[in-house]
Structure 1
Amino acid sequence: GWCALAGIAQILGTNLLIMSFGARGFAVGTVYSKAETVIVALVGWAVLGEALAATAWAGILVCMAGVVALATRGNREGLKALARGAGDRAALYGLGAGAMFAVASVCIRAGALELGQGDAFPRAIATLAVMNSIQAVLMGVWLLAREPATFTAVFRTWRSSSLVGLPSVTGSAGWAWAMTLETAALVRAFGQVELVFTVIMGRLLLGETPKAADIPGSLAVILGVLLVLLA
């Protein structure tokens, strides 16, 4: 049950996030989807009774501030545009995506916890395998019924798809393992450090020079992650 809920919520969240980008609101959709870090803490408390310490909440909020700063580059006009867009479709889709991702995270942890108190890694992988299998069946049936040409194209392009799929499933295994060991809220908050790594990898792989405006947001994310670690 938990695996099915997690799989469906993740599919819906991904679809809503793409819809937010399609509404010509990449920055707005991204920022509002990151409200997941707050929502997952509330869902985890409501469903699993996992309350967070004040330090953890402080870390989550600081991370959120860092995300906003990175998305707007600390620009006042960017902040105003973000506030004005609160009721736009991009923002609503982004918020919906964050909520669905939060539900998925808590359900993954709940599913892993139901498997007992043994080693965390096998429980995490078993939970992820069941969830991904359910997703594969649901999306396969959907594509076969709605877009049969796309369904067959998936199998024709399996080599190139594997280049994305293998790192993706490895990352998913890491997420599931972490959520088996620790509350989903702390894991997702700690995961915001990926934004800093994105800036670094952009520099190393693409030669993109980080802008000075990116520094405050990156530092805020790092500070928030440190607070989460202290919690």
Structure 2
Amino acid sequence: MSWILFTLLAAFSQSWRNAFQSRLSKELNVTGVTLSRFLWAGPLAAIYLWLLYYFEPVNLPSFTAYSYFFIIGASVMQIIATGLMVVLFKQKNFAIGAGLAKSEAPVSAFLGVLFFGTSLSLFGWLGVAIGAVAVFLLSCPDGFRSISFKTAIIGLACSTSFALTSLWIREASLTLSLPFPHRAAWVLFLVILLQTIALVSYLLIRDLNTLKEMFIKPKLVVMTSIASFIGSLGWFSAMSLQTVPLVKTLGQVEVFFTMLISFFWLKEGIKRKDILALILIAIAAVLVMW
């Protein structure tokens, strides 16, 4: 059941990462905020991988064509997903933006069953469905008409991008003939490394001022990277052990942490409908753990 602990760790850390990125979105452009997720997470991932080999030496991984495809695909798709989430933060408030992005769980369930050979029990599907209803309530605080068509499309694109990222990360991990957690650590390190190289190269060529700003005021950037690394470590490890739809459905407990942060740190209100959504998320979490 260690996948449950990794998922809860990931959800807690990701809620803080989203909060930090929400703050950063008021100071940096979309590319800068997206890079903040990866900039200092790479060295942390390298240290984590080194520590694993130091305490439990195993063979180096052998990569196949599928490994490269899934790692590169996940790297690119996560950059797109993170950028879309930052755009969501600019469309609505922090809690709604995170709520729209959390529809990743039902999307990953359908994509997983259709294309990745994922199978779910009746309880699993029921948990995913209830979680989807909870996300719908969070995304529509004042009714369905409260969200514009543009925001809905961005939210769907964001959740689909995150779903593909998660599915490809799991597939990449399964292609490596290494024990857990080494295989998850290798995928974590390589994905973050590729993302950092791609975004830093882009800013060096197209937007050097944004890169300079990230080093002039590093506090929020460093906090975002640390929270992102811890969250990614949790997600990558959990998805190496369990199917993506179940991990992401349980991961919706992130909304609970998000609301606490939104209320106490970002000073944004919480409505009664949000409490109902939290109850549904709790039920969904119990079902997928069962």
Calculate the TM-score normalised by the size of structure 2.
0.68
The question of whether the paired residues in 2 share the 8 Å contact of 1:189 and 1:225 is answered with yes
Whole-angstrom CA distance in 2 between matches of 1:167 and 1:32: 20
Q: RCO higher in 1 or 2 (8 Å CA, sep ≥ 6)?
A: 2
Counterparts of 2:241 and 2:230, CA distance in 1 = 17
1:217 alignment partner in structure 2: 277
Structure 1, unmatched stretches of 5+, are none
CA offset digits 1:38-94 (Å, max 9, x no partner): 111122223431121221111011112122223444xxxx22315x73xx1111111
Distance 1:32 1:162 in 2: 26
Give the superposed CA RMSD.
2.6
Q: Displacement, 1:206? A: 7.3
Shift of 1:125: 1.2
Task: State the partner residue of 1:33.
Answer: 101
Which stretch shows the higher mean deviation, 180-189 or 32-41? Answer: 32-41
5+ long unaligned stretches in structure 2:
1-68
1:184-223 aligned at under 5 Å gives the runs: 184-201=244-261, 211-223=271-283
Question: TM-score, with normalisation over the residues of structure 1?
Answer: 0.84
User: Of residues 144, 154, 161 in structure 2, which corresponds to 1:93?
Assistant: 154
Q: Does residue 178 of structure 1 match 2:238?
A: yes
CA distance in 1, matches of 2:258, 2:207: 33
| CA distance, structure 2, for counterparts of residue 159 and residue 205 of structure 1 | 16
- 1:48 alignment partner, one of 109, 116, 132: 116
Structure 1 residues 229, 211: CA separation in 2 closer, same or farther (over 3 Å shift)?
A: same
Please list the CA deviations of residues 81-130 of structure 1 after superposition, one character each: whole Å capped at 9, or x if unmatched. 15x73xx1111111011110000000110111111251x22111110100
The alignment covers a number of residue pairs equal to 222
Greater mean alpha carbon deviation, residues 183-192 or residues 210-219: 210-219
Cα distance in 2, alignment partners of residues 152 and 53 from structure 1: 50
- Tell me whether 1:61 sits opposite 2:129 in the alignment: yes
Q: 1:22 to 1:202 in 2, by over 3 A?
A: closer
CA contact under 8 A between 2:84 and 2:154: conserved in structure 1?
yes
1:204 Cα deviation after fit: 6.5
User: Would the alpha carbon gap of residues 55 and 25 (structure 1) be closer, same or farther in structure 2, given more than 3 Å must change?
Assistant: same
Equivalent residue number for residue 163 of structure 2: 102
